[in-house]
Amino acid sequence: MFSLASGRAGTSAPVASASAGHGSGGAHSINRSSRPCSNCTCSPGLLSRQNRRKSLFMHQLSRRKSSTPGSPRRSMSAESIYSSDTLCTTKNVNTTKRLEKLRFKMKENDLAVYIVPSEDEHSSEYVSSADQRRSFISGFTGSAGIAIITRDLLNFNDIPEGKSALSTDGRYFNQAGQELDFNWVLLKQGAKGEPTWQEWAVQEAIEQSLGLGKKLVKIGIDPKVISYKDVVSFQNTIKTKVDENGEGSKVELVAIKNNLVDAIWGEFEEVPKRPSNKLIHLTKEYTGEEFKSKHQRLITELNKHNSNSILLSALDEVAWLLNLRGSDIEYNPVFFSYVIVDGETTKLFTDNPYSDDVKTFFAENNITVLPYNSIWTELSSVTTALKQKSASISIPETASWEIVRNLNNCKYRQIVSPVILFKSVKNKTEIENFSKAQLKDAVAIVRFFAWLEDKLVRGEGLIDEYAAGEKLIEFRQEQEHYMGNSFETISATGANAAVIHYAPPSENSAMIDPSKIYLCDTGSQFMEGTTDITRTLHFGEPTQEEIDNYTLVLKGNLAIEQLVFPEGTNGYYIDILARQFLWAKGLDYRHGTGHGVGSYLNVHEGPIGIGLRNGLISYPLEKGNIVTNEPGFYEDGKYGIRIENDMLVESTDLKFGEKSFLKFRNLTLVPYCRKLTNVSLLTHEERKLINNHHKTVCQMLSPLLKDDQRAFYWLKKETTPV
């Protein structure tokens, strides 16, 4: 499953074929409401928030059952059972009225352009339902993308008019094309000749300024939901574009403190409320390091910048530092919070309830708890005191524009947060726990695959994609310390497997077709660790094309796994190894090859990864990193293939001069698909690597599956030597 590091929010990898991208689980909390939305034909995401989906498929199936004797499998063709033609094809929300209301608010604030990002005020990749503003205004439900709405200043009609654009990367081109309505244009990030969202927004503003006789035109954004770093970049884009072709036009980026989407949301839907769930305190048996030790490491690192004060705004950084977890954002064990560390004093800003044990933990560690929204007055107070002492405060690169606006002219340094670097290197306890989590999840996944094959093939049953994902959760719930999925399971049959970040709807989900490829990208949150695993299966007779392309993907996966590399090597430089076999056939995939994984934290964890994003160059892989390995191939409208393992970076005995060498160890204990593997395309070393992996998988899982004969024999079948 992809992340920032593997292409989720960064620039997509180049594409040389008709392949699409992957999916990683979207993570959207759902607010249940029966209130109908205005002027709406509703997207799956918005209908989920309102619980208004209709079981059209089941009604159709019911009618066919009642009118045709015999079993569904015998009375209907495979096409009629499995084809998406039988499903409701209404996928987009009519955004006309929403955009109209938003433009009235833009007029009140004298704006020509308004920007609606995906992120919340903590730069979170996945956000709570209360922060899904971009999804609300555009109808696009993917996890990454930016909406740009313009208001035509030369239009004096009673109803304001303008343009609206949605910019997203290659993982979402297919999905956005289906979900956006006629009001929107799609800006394909990374596509040849396509402008960035910044360039598009600025060009629209320049044209309006020129049309008004070079009058000042304003671009607005909520300063809490954009990083200051991105603001600086945006302002540079404005200057460059104006200098290049603005001919004296005047364009300015302005902060609009009251979010304009929030101002209209309630007119169409019941506005979701941010969750505030009880905190969980992790003991040393799970973290391997107490808070006091982490705090001291942080202060030592800050002293290198001549500071001992820092503001932390990323939710997973707060959770890791304090050894706390939450459940405010679905699939991500985090809670809404800020932290200010000022020497020996730590201030936590949160509204989440906590137990007496956590209260004792706070007292013993000199942690003061303050209301979440008091961060702004307290930040002003702290920076005023620092300014009087000629001291400075450090803020992370992801800090919002609003944070910088509230620093009270105090000296500050914007740095890569030491915490993001600390938590990316797992300690001995965390690594041991990761292995325990992988073993638990492998048992659940193998039991699920064996059950699914049995029901589809021997039982000739009808199982839809969503129901399959729910069954997997049942198997996981039998494992100790299971805390939920780490992202929304991608359970995809046939052409759906080629849809980037596909997530089956809870109703009207496609039936899994055993004659087509089935892709399952799934992960768990255990107290011991986080998993992210993808397997591609076939329950019938795959085509030679499917077999060969699966094998090319598998070869790329193995090429990364068996790599030995010197310290200082980053994921940007090794990404090509996963693509080489596809490239040789003129094929590719539109996502990165790997991302960091948190320790019972976010499944996507920076800053390391394997991919073609320039940002990865600055972060070499280190001993103790856990990173995914997930090459793929996607044929739009036909099938998708992805094979994903979680790998640990380990040391070796090799050295060249003073430089040591590192290697990967595959932690995932799920077999590859025997039926989709073309052994003739594999080298001797590749076959050996597969067989050794399957031997390990069989040895470790067999004793745990003795009570499930179906899973036991499925495992034996899939791990036979190639």
> Is 46 among the domain residues?
no
Residue 332 and residue 451 in one domain: no
Over residues 706-720, the pLDDT tens digits come to 999 999 999 999 999
pLDDT at 499: 84
Task: Round to whole Å and give the CA distance between 147 and 167.
Answer: 6
398 and 488 together in one domain: no
So what's the pLDDT on residue 47? 44
Task: Mark whether 123 and 212 lie in a shared domain.
Answer: yes
Q: In this structure, which amino acid lies at residue 319? A: A
pLDDT at 156 over 90: no
Q: Which of 414, 438, 471 is the last residue of a domain?
A: 414
Q: Which residues contact 243 (CB under 8 A, 6 or more apart)?
A: none
**Rounded to whole angstroms, how far apart are CA atoms 719 and 696?**
9
Q: Can you read off the two tokens belonging to residue 618? A: 């600055």
Do 305 and 171 belong together in one domain? no
Residue 612 lies in a domain: yes
User: Mapped to the 3 state alphabet, what secondary structure does 153-174 carry?
Assistant: CCCCCCCCCCCEEEEECHHHHH
pLDDT in tens, 109-144: 999 999 999 999 999 999 999 999 999 999 999 889
Q: Please indicate, yes or no, whether residues 214 and 296 belong to a single structural domain of this protein.
A: no
- Reported as a pLDDT band with limits 50, 70 and 90, residue 93 is confident
Q: Which domain holds residue 529?
A: 428-690
Is residue 78 in a domain?
Answer: no
CATH, residue 457: 3.90.230.10
449 and 370 belong to one structural domain: no
Look at residue 37 and tell me if it is in a domain: no
Query: Does 208 fall in a domain?
Result: yes
The pLDDT value given to residue 89: 39
User: Which residue bears the tokens 């599956």?
Assistant: 705
**pLDDT digits 0-9 by tens, 314-324:** 999 999 999 99
Q: Residues 341-362: pLDDT tens digits? A: 999 999 999 999 999 999 999 9
Instruction: For residues 349 and 226, give the distance between their C-alpha atoms in angstroms, rounded to a whole number.
Output: 20
Residues 150 and 200 occupy one common structural domain: yes
Question: Last residue of a domain, which of 385, 414, 443?
Answer: 414
Say what percent of the chain tops pLDDT 70. 87
Q: For the chain, give the mean pLDDT.
A: 89
pLDDT at residue number 607: 97
Per the CB < 8 A criterion, the answer to whether 403 and 255 are in contact is no
Confidence (pLDDT) at 82? 53
Please check whether residues 347 and 475 belong to one and the same domain: no
166, 180 Cβ separation under 8 angstroms: yes
Q: What is the CATH number of the domain that holds 396?
A: 3.40.350.10
Coil vs helix vs strand at 83: coil
Span 551-604, pLDDT tens digits: 999 999 999 999 999 999 999 999 999 999 999 999 999 999 999 999 999 999
Q: Do 223 and 113 share a structural domain?
A: yes
Residue 378: inside a domain: yes
Confidence band (pLDDT; 50, 70, 90) for 86?
very low
3-class secondary-structure state, position 526: strand
Tell me how far CA of residue 344 lies from CA of 267, 370, 375, 420, in angstroms: 47, 17, 18, 20
Q: Are residues 388 and 466 in the same domain?
A: no
Which among 265, 298, 317 is the end of a domain? 265
Q: Is residue 149 part of a domain?
A: yes
Structure tokens at 102: 């938003």
What confidence score (pLDDT) does residue 483 get? 98
User: Which sign does the torsion angle of CA 333, 336, 340, 344 carry?
Assistant: negative
The three-state (H, E, C) secondary structure of 593-646, written as one string: CEEECCCCCCCCEEEEEECCCHHHHHCECCCCCEEEECCEEEECCCEEEECEEE
Distances in Å between the Cα of 297 and the Cα atoms of 316, 321, 324, 706 are: 17, 10, 18, 46
pLDDT at residue 190, rounded to an integer: 87
Interacting residues of 265 by C-beta distance below 8 A, sequence separation 6+: 133, 136, 271
Same domain, 500 and 402: no
- What lies within 8 Å, CB to CB, of 283 at 6+ separation is 323
Look at residue 9 and tell me if it is in a domain: no
Q: In whole angstroms, give the CA distance from residue 100 to residue 159.
A: 7
- Which is more confident, 72 or 515? 515
The pTM (predicted TM-score) of the whole model is: 0.88
pLDDT of residue 14: 35
**H/E run at residue 711:** helix 709-718
Instruction: Determine the pLDDT at residue 44.
Output: 41
- Higher pLDDT: 156 or 207? It is 207
The gap between the terminal CA atoms of the chain, to the nearest Å, is 27
Domain count, the chain: 3
**Same domain, yes or no, for 370 and 450?**
no
Of 71-75, 470-474, 543-547, 662-666, least confident by mean pLDDT is 71-75
H or E element that contains 522: strand 517-522
